[in-house]
Amino acid sequence: MSENKARVAALVRQARDEMRAGNRDEALNLLKKAISMDPGSTAVTEAVIEIEKEMAAAAASAGPQKQEAPVKSSVQAKPAPQPTPAQKAPEVKPQPTPAQKAPEAKPQPTPAQKAPEAKPQPTPAQKAPEVKPQPTPAQKAPEAKPQPATARPVPGERPEKTVRAGGGTAVAPPQSPPSASREDLLKALFASSDKAMAAGDEAGAITALRKARELAPDSQEAVSRLRNLQKLLKARTLVGVARRKLSEGAPAEALAKLKEAFELWPATEGLGALLDALEAEAARMEKTAKPASKPSGEKQGDEVGTEPRPHPEAGRPVQAEKTPRPVQPAPRRVPQRSASLSADDYVRRVREQIQMSAFPAAAEIAAEGLARFPDNVLLKTFVEKFSRMGLLPK
């Protein structure tokens, strides 16, 4: 156990180092591995919270720098335009003609001599380099004031839209990596809880789900998973208490605990077998409670040794013989059913019959309700339980 905790602590330290170095994916993988090794470790949760704080602070401080860096790189990386052959032509000095070599006589310059002195007009191809390129939207970005870094969005809330000065609505920035890492950690905790439950580690499963609820209190899946697991474990505990009460000879208390378990989680393991044991115990007690008595005449004859007197003596009142009457069980009340009943009404009436220990009537109501509402999950569960108990044909 101590070796496992040491490995988890080492993984947490390594994840923090990777996070400070900027390797978020590597840090996330290390934390996932640590959670799979020890789902109930508080050090892992504290490391996740600390890493999220560091990521939020880094995002707030590096926000303006990240906006200016791509613009500068794009401006610096843009190479200077290469001059075309048409642009290089004016640089070549023209060779002087024979008419140009006669400056000693100083004749009047002819139009052919004036032509070289005039500067050649630049062609459109030569003017192209002089035109300054229009700045692109990426080059204009540094002139605008950098927007302050927005706070990290709270899980479950919609991100607010950013409004520009021109009145348009800009696309909201993508969520920060901590949100994605939180979803991955939730999935890892759910998988760890299922794995612990399959291995019989109920405490580990509860601990993993509690960590998931602390990590994301607004997650409906985390809350419902924890609530359902708590109900299931409580129902299993009640079934164990009912089994112990039945073995101690207290079937009434066992039946009460069994009803509580059934209301919490109808699909609890061992519920049908315990119902069979309760019915068998009730039948055995009913057989032992019946007195194996003989008729009163035979009993009198056995005690006195003579036949019983047929007529009483004169002058004495006739006393009627007291004979025990067999106790008839009270008829089970089956509620009237109508075509207007809904599936919830059938479920409620089945539970009422179970509370009165009228299991055959409850089975009959459940079968009728399932025939009308075949897609109802609770009615299907009731019919399956009653079929395993032998109250309904399989």
How sure is the predictor about 290, in pLDDT bands with cuts at 50, 70 and 90? low
Contact 264, 231 (CB under 8 A): yes
Is residue 245 assigned to a domain? no
Residue with the two structure tokens 């901590």:
178
Is residue 149 assigned to a domain? no
pLDDT digits (tens, 9 = 90+) for 238-284: 888 888 888 888 888 888 888 888 888 887 888 888 888 877 877 77
Report the distance separating Cα 382 and Cα 369, nearest Å: 10
Domain that holds residue 386: 339-394
What pTM, to 2 d.p., does this model score?
Answer: 0.35
Mean residue pLDDT across the chain: 68
- The answer, yes or no, to whether residue 377 has pLDDT greater than 80, is yes
pLDDT digits (tens, 9 = 90+) for 217-239: 999 999 999 999 998 899 888 88
Which residue, 366, 365, 359, is CA-closest to 391? Answer: 359
- The answer, yes or no, to whether residue 188 has pLDDT greater than 70, is yes
Helix H or strand E encompassing 169 = strand 169-170
Is residue 353 assigned to a domain? yes
Is residue 220 assigned to a domain? no
* Per-residue model confidence (pLDDT) at position 125: 46
Residue with the two structure tokens 């032992």:
288
* Per-residue model confidence (pLDDT) at position 14: 84
Residue with the two structure tokens 């508080």:
42
- The answer, yes or no, to whether residue 21 has pLDDT greater than 80, is yes
Hey, which of 39-48, 212-221, 288-297, 326-335 has the most confident mean pLDDT?
Answer: 212-221
* Per-residue model confidence (pLDDT) at position 103: 45
Report the distance separating Cα 193 and Cα 93, nearest Å: 86
What the block records as the tokens of 372 is 């009308």
* Per-residue model confidence (pLDDT) at position 298: 46
* Per-residue model confidence (pLDDT) at position 92: 47
Helix H or strand E encompassing 257 = helix 251-264
- The answer, yes or no, to whether residue 119 has pLDDT greater than 70, is no
Is residue 125 assigned to a domain? no
Is residue 305 assigned to a domain? no
Domains of the chain: total = 1
pLDDT digits (tens, 9 = 90+) for 381-391: 889 888 877 78
Which residue, 239, 281, 245, is CA-closest to 262? Answer: 239
Residue with the two structure tokens 């003017």:
127
Q: What secondary structure does DSSP assign to 330-393, as a single string?
A: PPP-PPP--TT--HHHHHHHHHHHHHTT-HHHHHHHHHHHHHH-TT-HHHHHHHHHHHHTTSS-
Is residue 313 assigned to a domain? no
Q: Radius of gyration of the chain from Cα atoms?
A: 47
Which residue, 193, 197, 220, 195, is CA-closest to 209? Answer: 193
Higher pLDDT residue, 340 or 375?
Answer: 375
How sure is the predictor about 121, in pLDDT bands with cuts at 50, 70 and 90? low
pLDDT digits (tens, 9 = 90+) for 297-316: 444 444 444 445 555 444 45
Is residue 311 assigned to a domain? no
Contact 207, 39 (CB under 8 A): yes
- The answer, yes or no, to whether residue 165 has pLDDT greater than 80, is no
Mapped onto helix, strand or coil, the DSSP state of residue 192 is: helix
